[in-house]
Every structure is written in structure tokens, then in C-alpha cells.
Amino acid sequence: MLYRDLDGSEAESPADLRAQYEAELADVVDAAGIETATEETGIESERLRALVEGDSPELTVEEASAILALDPEEPDAEIVRAEIEDRLLLGMTTAVLDVETIAANIGSDLSGKEVHQRVEGRAPMSLEEYAEIHYLIGERKH
């Protein structure tokens, strides 16, 4: 989910899409165990525990990629993150969206330049920002 299906058509809102990401990540952490996940990802156990308990801790796309990589059936974190960036850029092209249009149509208070930096991986992107951008791209592609 996190990086495979970037059309977002199954989600009803950016918040719903983020909840889907978090559910997927919580399952991975639960299967690996919080202690192992903390050791392998470097993410504080409190945030991972909150994720497993159904809360929405602040996570970046980079951290989410590291969590997903704990699943032995998934690629390593760098590949996941690169896939996310590539698919966002491709989705923007397909949906005919530029960074200024994205910035103007998401809930986060980001400039076009900040969206550009996040989509290209030059600045950290929160899971919330990713959900907003992902959702908008999916909506515009339909």
C-alpha cells in the first residue's frame, strides 16, 4: 500500500489514506516486535508502540520505509523510498499537476518549492504530507 498503489482511489480522504498506511506499518511492527523494530529502524519505541496501538505518531516517509523494510517480503528501505519518489513524480505527470497546484490544493501549509523538495526526496516528508499529495494525485488522475 505505502508504495505500490499510488492512485489512492480506495481512500475517501487523505486522513483515510494515512490510516491505511499506518495500519500496514503497524502490522509490520507488530510482526517484527517493538524491540526489534526499534533496533532495526532507530525509531523510538514509544512512537512504534503508539503506531501498533492505533495512534498516529509523527512519522516521515523515510521512517515508514524503514518500518516496511522489516517485512522480509519487502525490499530495503532505500528502494521503497525511491519507489515512492518515482511514483509521485510519474503520478504528477500523469495527472498533469505541478508543485504549485499541489501546494495550493493540500491541507499542509507548504509552498511549491517545499512540495518539490519533498517529492524529490531533498527534504523530509511527513506521512501526513505524503498522504495529502498521494490522495490529490489519485483524485486528479480520475
Q: What is the per-residue pLDDT across 73-126, written as a single tens digit (0 to 9) for each?
A: 999 999 999 999 998 999 899 889 999 999 999 988 999 999 999 999 999 999
Q: Which residue has the cell 505500490?
A: 4
Give the whole-number percent of the chain exceeding pLDDT 70. 94
The model's confidence at residue 30, banded by pLDDT at 50, 70 and 90, is very high
Give the integer Cα–Cα distance in Å for 26 and 23: 5
The yes-or-no verdict on residue 23 having pLDDT over 80 is yes
How distant, in Å, are the alpha carbons of 9, 39, 81, 88, 125 from that of 121?
Answer: 24, 24, 8, 11, 8
Q: What is the distance of C-alpha 48 from the center of its chain?
A: 15
So what's the pLDDT on residue 3? 66
Query: What pLDDT, on the 0 to 100 scale, is given for residue 58?
Result: 96
Are the C-beta atoms of 132 and 108 separated by less than 8 Å? Answer: yes
Confidence at residue 60, expressed as pLDDT on a 0 to 100 scale: 97
